[in-house]
Amino acid sequence: RLRILDIKSQCWRHPRFRKEFTSYDIYAAVLDEGVTDLAGFRDRLAGRGITID
């Protein structure tokens, strides 16, 4: 849960949040794929053609 909240707190203000990626993507990345930090989440999104800086 803390990992999810940490990633979400770093992403929720991003202009693409809720347009190209959502909270569901964060949950799925952490719970289903073992993502542990923002860098890992960025990598997951990059695999889908979405970049966040």
The mean predicted confidence, pLDDT, of the chain is 96
Confidence category of residue 53, pLDDT binned at 50, 70, 90? confident
HEC string for the chain: CHHHHHHHHHHCCCCCECCCECHHHHHHHHHHHCCCCHHHHHHHHHHCCCCCC
- In the chain, pLDDT over 90 holds for what percent of residues? 94
Higher per-residue pLDDT: 48 or 53: 48
pLDDT digits over 18-37, tens only? 999 999 999 999 999 999 99
